[in-house]
Every structure is written in structure tokens, then in C-alpha cells.
Amino acid sequence: MAVSANTPLSLVQDVYKKLPGNVAVARERLGRPLTLTEKILFNHLADPRGQAVERGRSYADFHP
């Protein structure tokens, strides 16, 4: 069985390009170092600067 990736390389590159900026926004908003999971989730948030991120209360919209 052959395995192949269907995700365009440009999409993956765009996600990684945004990572440093989104992690900085997350650290500023939360006021503490981030877990790996938080870094990944913040990088996929639809609006990392404005979306509510209150644990156990907020719902989030994510991009791939």
C-alpha cells in the first residue's frame, strides 16, 4: 500500500512561518511559558490575538 501526503507544501510552510509570531502572542496573552500543546493550538487558532482563551470556558475556531 502506497502512502502519500495530500497537503500542499505551501500550506505547511505558511503554518510554520506563522509559528514564532503566534507563540509570542500566546506568551504575552497568557503571561507564562507555553506547553508544546499550547504552542500548537495557538498556531492553529483562527484569531490568536483576539479569540478568547479561557480554560474550560472558551470555544475556539481553528485552521488546519
Q: What does the pLDDT look like over 13-36, one tens digit per residue?
A: 988 999 999 999 999 999 999 999
What is the band of 3 on the pLDDT scale with cuts at 50, 70, 90? low
* Number of CB atoms found within 10 A of residue 28's CB: 9
Cell of 17: 512561518
Amino acid at 26: A
Lookup result for grid cell 509559528:
19
In the chain, domain spans? 9-44
* pLDDT band at residue 49 under the 50/70/90 scheme: very high
Q: Is 90 exceeded by the pLDDT of residue 2?
A: no
Hey, which residues does 45 pair with through a beta bridge? Answer: 62
**pTM for the full predicted model:** 0.76
